[in-house]
Each structure stands twice: as C-alpha cells, then as structure tokens.
Amino acid sequence: PPANFHITLAFVGAIAPGPLERLCQAVDDALQRARPAGGELVLDCAGYWPRPGIYWLGPSTWPESLSQLATKLRQLATVAGARRDRRPFQPHISLLRNCSTAPAAPVSQSAICVAYRDFTLFESRQGKTGVSYHPLQQWELAPPDGPAPSFPGRPALG
C-alpha cells in the first residue's frame, strides 16, 4: 500500500529495547556533531532484484550526503547490536515484493520528485493484511540549500 512507501537508509531488524534506546541516543549524538541537510531525490528508474523478487523505483543519482547518512546509520545500528548490512546503498521504494519474474518494462519512463527533510525509525508489524510501519522516533535534517521541492517524502531507518 502507498502508506508503506519509504526509502530505507539502514535496516536494523529485531533489536531489544535497551540496544534500541542506545541506538537512538547514538543517532542523537551523531546529529549533534554533524547534521546533514535534507534534499531531493528524482525517482527516475525502475529495477528488479530477482533473488528477493523486488520490483522497485529509485533515483539514478542521489546526493553523496544521503549515502554518508546511510553509512553512518548502518554503523550505529551494527554497534547497537543489529546485523551488519553489507549491501551497497541503493535508495529505492519497493513497489512489488515476491515477484517470481520481472514485471514488464514501463512503456515510458516518468520521474517523481521526492523531498526529504527528516528520517524516521519505524517498527514493522506483520498483520492479517500484510506489513504496516509504525514510527518510533524521528530526526530532523538541516534545511536544504536551494528552493524547496513540491513533493514531501520520508526516508526511513528500518
């Protein structure tokens, strides 16, 4: 469902309450030292990952500061006890999951502009109708340089 659309900066997975508190404090501390700016992503390419069966929409390029933020959050999550994520960072929104074959390529490629001004730690919960995401904590990013884009979005620390 569209309410579940998000871009994962770092996947934390299952983590006990104590380490989760320490992770949130570590993120607070890191942002006190250096707060990256928000920005804008242009979702202009679709992709398919056959092993997990995910069809996704993402940007062909993105700010280095977003990659640096994802790397820092992954490091902090690992120190807090999360499993180390070795996959390269590829910002994306999963459109379809459990696809056994790649969906047909789009006839025309459109671009969607997504602004990000904060990021959120979400808890995912499995229910009868699938997964839903529930915010646990949110962090503001520094104001971006330049004019504000017209479409709000929210990257996530998962």
- Active-site residue 134, yes or no? no
Per residue in 24-42, pLDDT (tens digit) is 999 999 999 999 999 999 9
Please tell me the predicted confidence (pLDDT) of residue 17. 94
Which member of 63, 92, 153, 157 is catalytic? 92
Please tell me the predicted confidence (pLDDT) of residue 23. 97
Taking 90 as the threshold, does the pLDDT of residue 149 lie above it? no
Please tell me the predicted confidence (pLDDT) of residue 121. 97
Please tell me the predicted confidence (pLDDT) of residue 147. 55
Mean pLDDT of the region 63-91: 95
Average pLDDT, the chain: 89
pLDDT band at 117 (very low <50, low <70, confident <90, very high): very high
pLDDT band at 152 (very low <50, low <70, confident <90, very high): very low
Share of the chain above pLDDT 70, in %: 92
Taking 80 as the threshold, does the pLDDT of residue 156 lie above it? no
Taking 70 as the threshold, does the pLDDT of residue 151 lie above it? no
Please tell me the predicted confidence (pLDDT) of residue 92. 96
d(CA 46, CA 42): 12
